[in-house]
Structure 1
Amino acid sequence: MSAVPRPSWSSQVVVVGGGIGGLTAAVALRQAGREVVVLERAPSLEPVGAAISLAPNALRALDVLGVGDEVRSRAARVREGGMRTPSGRWLARTDAAGITERFGDPLLLLPRSTLVDVLTARLPAGAVRTGCRAAVADPGDHGRPARVTTPDGELAAGLVVGADGIHSPARGVLFPEHPGVVYSGFTTWRVMVPAPAVEIVSHETWGPGRLWGTHRLTDGRIYAYAAAMTPAGGKAADDEKAELLRLFGHWHEPVPSVLAAIRPQDVLRHDVHHVAPPLPAYHRGRVALVGDAAHAMPPTLGQGGNQAIEDAVVLAHHAEDLPAYTAARLPRTSALVTRSVRTSRLGMTRNRPAAALRNAAVAALSRTGPAFFLRGLDGIADWRPPQSERRTE
């Protein structure tokens, strides 16, 4: 008895969204033997967001794709640093050597555009289509393909990857009864600027209802980010640089010097949202969600992009069994969303006595040594992909 031929659409993959999660999924699925096309609605792949921090868990996932060492060679290692108060007093100091010793890699920082370049270089010409608005029309099922509509017509696929971000339309199609994302209570600003003529030591500074971080990139530029508790949808009365000066201009160096180097047009501002409650699954039919579309979280653990990268390699591993993908990813990422929300509430509290108590606890714990803070990464940075063997070119 002859075998029944597989439908032509069965090996086709359509990735809706060309961010970090979508591109990583495209590379992983192509390496798994699928024919992949990425549809990005923006006119280019120039990413929204200045830089991305990669933890050892994401680097292991990138090793599976054979790009981990290239990323390491193009990223800055977050070395000496720590937490400070707005006056400049150090609450805790960190040491990258301890992270590397415990988890096998340091924390890395690189422009998002660099990571996008590394990933797109692993895809064939024409695999990424920009300026293409795509929408999931039918999630499909065991006997029929998923269908995606585009301005040029409809595409049928054996797998569709919904990587369309925080306000994911694909998520709404799969789970129309889910309430979607909620406002996390604060907004963020991000910039990359030339290094000012002052000493730059990586730091994150916590004040009542506000936060600032400064880090150096390999090309000499400075990546800085800020956050403040504010009503959703707010905009600066003048420009966002003026707003940052108002909120942080009196904080310790290098904050004022970094602010002086900013051009108003270079400031990115975004309200922070997270998925609550968790989705019932990360798939339906032949569609799977990755990254913020599945589990948007506050940036306080620095794991949003890292979890999208994890999603991608796990999805490629379970591409023929999407319930197994959900089972592997939903508990882990839901726990991290909850943890990120709790951490943001602690770090962004406006209550001055509570902030003072928090600072005193951090300072006291730092005197016990770095092991306490490193344990905070247990269960996060020690994750290993199902494809645990390291692949090389």
Structure 2
Amino acid sequence: MPKAVIVGGGIGGLATAIAFTRQGWEVEVLERSARITEVGAGISLWSNALQALDELGLGDEIRGRAREESSAGIRNSKGRWLSRTDIEAVRARYGSPIMMHRADFLEILRAAVPEYAVRTGISVSGVQADDIVAHSAGTSAGDLVVGADGVRSVVRRAVCGEIEPRYSGYTAWRVVVAPTEPVGDMGESWGRGERFGYGTLPDGRVYCFATADMAAGTAGGGLSEMRARFGSWHDPIPALLSAADDTAILKHDLYDLPPLKTYATGRIALIGDAAHAMTPNLGQGACQALEDAVTLARVAAEDGDLARYDAQRRPRTQMIVKRSRVIGAVGQLSSPLAVLARNALLRLTPPSVQLKSLAPVLDWEG
């Protein structure tokens, strides 16, 4: 039985383990953390991700624990609509996007991987000659090594050498809150160099996320800063911030990767953020990792030609990285004139154009 050694036990790594197991491979997942858990945040899964999850045999279970997104769009900080997404048209054309808690999603993935296959508390130091993975508990060897170890991937060095992630220019806050009043809609609001978004989870809690231009590594920036920046924005944002717990706030600078020359070399392949870390502006980070997992396992089972995996995945994912970066730059505009022009353009763009613009991202053959 062939074996895959998968470095990283996050969404991409677990999905890869499931995909290879379904192809009849043995898998060994090496995860640095002592436990496989997820932070308090939501996750959107678009139709392309759900197609991948169907191929992993998990689509129905995921849908059963998620909430269909029923409204979306972009407003300004005062609440005026700049752009509204025709969710019914999206549903008819591509299928329904869903939202769920990341912890629930990770729990489902973890349960689908054999218990013995996941080794936690293992810190990988590199990939040696003959594709031997060196780590804190010794070494691991297999017929294929998969780097699913994130934007600062150790495995990537064996494929591409040292690659420095690019700072986006803005940081992000994330928090899940339990509001006193139900919140039925979802969407984003764009200001000047700042954005705030929210979406309702299946249990009625609300996932909130926000961004602001600032230098990488800026200290502080908890709930008090969020309230100072967004507390005067339109409803229900002030109420959501009032319901937030300062200890639950997550703050992370956002990075992506420059285009890599390859996602594979020899018997080593990269997936997810290790290959194509992207800003979250299209909600496609996890979705693309799921596509990677399904594609890589299929290629490995068919002929093992990793050049074919690279050819299938690199152009598509790098296109999405670029699109996400551009959308982020537009959303973070801070010049008053530039923001005025941006908002006017959003209001003038027909919903049909928005719908068509999703096609290159959501149309995936699997």
Look up the match of 2:288. 307
C-alpha distance after superposition, 1:303-354 (max 9, x if no partner): 1111111100000011111111101001111111111111111111111111
Structure 1 residues 25 and 131, CA gap change in structure 2 (3 angstroms): same
Change (3 A) 1:199 1:49: closer
Counterparts of 2:291 and 2:125, CA distance in 1: 24
AA partner of residue 14 (structure 1): V
Partner residue in 2 for 1:284: 265
1:379 aligns with 2:360: yes
Q: Which residue of 2 aligns with 1:42?
A: 33
TM-score normalised by structure 1 residue count: 0.89
Q: Could you say what secondary structure the match of 1:293 adopts? A: helix
Contact 2:183 2:200 survives alignment (8 Å): no
Matches within 5 A, 1:147-226: 147-176=132-161, 178-197=162-181, 199-226=183-210
Secondary structure of the residue that 2:312 maps to in structure 1? Answer: helix
* Identity, % of aligned positions: 42
One-letter identity of the residue aligned with 1:221: R
1:244 to 217, 221, 226: 226
Q: Distance in 2 between matches of 1:291 and 1:352?
A: 36
In the TM superposition, residue 81 of structure 1 has moved relative to its aligned partner by 2.7
**Residue in 1 that maps onto 2:279:** 298
Q: What are the within-5 Å matches in structure 2 for residues 1-393 of structure 1?
A: 11-48=2-39, 50-103=41-94, 105-138=95-128, 140=130, 146-176=131-161, 178-197=162-181, 199-236=183-220, 240-276=222-258, 278-319=259-300, 320-365=304-349, 368=350, 370-385=351-366
Distance 2:361 2:113 in 1: 29
Corresponding residue SS for 1:157: coil
Secondary structure, counterpart of 2:364 in structure 1: coil
Distance apart, 1:199 and its partner CA: 4.2
Residue by residue over 1:190-211, the C-alpha shift from the partner in whole angstroms, topping out at 9 and shown as x without a partner, is 1111123264421200011001
Q: Please tell me whether Structure 1 or Structure 2 has the larger radius of gyration of its CA atoms.
A: 1
Amino acid aligned to 2:267: R
**Partner Cα separation in structure 2 for residue 224 and residue 64 of structure 1:** 30
Structure with a larger share of its residues in helix: 2
Contact 1:75 1:110 in 2 (8 A): yes
Is contact 1:214-1:223 (8 Å) kept?
A: yes
User: By how many angstroms is 1:170 displaced?
Assistant: 1.3
Distance in 2 (alpha carbons) for counterparts of 1:274 and 1:232:
13
**Structure 2: which amino acid aligns with 1:80?**
S
Superposed displacement of residue 135, structure 1: 3.2
Shift in Å, 1:17: 0.5
Q: In structure 2, what residue type is equivalent to 1:161?
A: V
Alpha-carbon offset, residue 379 of structure 1? 1.1
Q: 2:27 touches 2:117 (CA, 8 Å); kept in 1?
A: yes
**In 2: Cα distance, 1:127 partner to 1:315 partner:** 19
CA contact (8 A) 1:82 1:203 kept: yes
State the distance in 2 between where 1:15 and 1:223 align.
30
Query: What is the distance in 2 between the residues matched to 1:231 and 1:72?
Result: 38
329-338 or 150-159, larger mean C-alpha shift? 150-159
Question: What's the secondary structure of 1:79's corresponding residue?
Answer: coil
Cα displacement (A) at 1:49: 5.8
Distance in 2 between the 1:337 and 1:175 partners? 18
What residue ranges of structure 1 are gaps of 5+ in the alignment?
Answer: 1-9, 141-145, 386-393
Q: Distance in 1 between matches of 2:23 and 2:107?
A: 21
Cα RMSD, aligned residues only: 1.4
Contact in 2 for aligned 1:200/1:254 (Cα 8 Å): no
> Which runs of no fewer than 5 residues in structure 2 stay unpaired?
none
| CA separation of 1:335 and 1:199: change in aligned 2, threshold 3 A | closer
Alpha-carbon distance in structure 2 between the residues aligned to 1:360 and 1:252: 19
Post-superposition Cα deviations, 1:172-230, rounded to whole Å, max 9, x if no partner, equal 23222x53211011111111111232644212000110010011000111001000111
CA distance in 2, matches of 1:355, 1:31: 49
Given that 1:139 and 1:284 are in contact with CA atoms closer than 8 Å, whether structure 2 keeps it comes out as: no
Superposition deviation, residue 50 in structure 1: 1.0
